[in-house]
Amino acid sequence: MKHVITILAEGFEEIEAVTFIDILRRAHIQVTVLGLKSFDIKGAHDIRIKADYLFADFKESYDGIILAGGQPGTTNLIKSPEVLKIVKAAHAKGLLLGAICAGPSVLAEAGILDGYKATCYPGVEERLGNAIVVEEPVVVDRTIITSRGVGTAIDFAIELVRYLNNDESADKISKAILFNK
């Protein structure tokens, strides 16, 4: 079974996080929710999520890191040297890195988006360093998958399933949730 982690900081975008957590779990992909500073994380719209572990205490192996956007959640992730370090390490190992909305700016801050095609929430482009910015709902470039925001969250999650599992799994989930594209 594939295993990904997500790191949630105060002010994360709830729809984005819950969408990929839910859809990945439907596809039998283990998703571990890590709280950056606490187990009880309040999103940008006052919805609380309970983390499985505190980020600092998590020691298991995983196949990728998926980051939600939202403010000030994204800024809180960028301010954490430990988050940037784990993102760099995952990239160096060739693991999946997924980020939606303002989340790709965390990847850029970690120095790994240069030369990669990526997308993000409108207005965040200037924070993507030397990425090749593409205005598509979801962009897959090698081991990096990025997406634009709440309205593209299901597209993003389905592409994560496709990457981690396969086309058949992604198509099965799409059909089950009546997501017809």
- Tell me the catalytic residues: 101
Which residues lie closer than 8 Å to 12 by C-beta, 6 or more apart?
41, 43, 44, 49, 68, 69, 70, 73, 74
Strands (E), the chain: 3-8, 30-35, 40-42, 48-50, 53-54, 64-67, 96-100, 117-118, 132-133, 138-141, 144-147
How far, in Å, CA of 174 to CA of 85, rounded?
Answer: 34
* Type of residue found at 138: V
User: What are the residue ranges of helices labelled H in 2-152?
Assistant: 14-26, 73-78, 81-92, 104-109
Q: What is the rounded CA–CA span in Å between residue 143 and residue 116?
A: 10
Rounded alpha-carbon distances, angstroms, from residue 134 to 42, 121, 137, 140: 31, 11, 9, 11
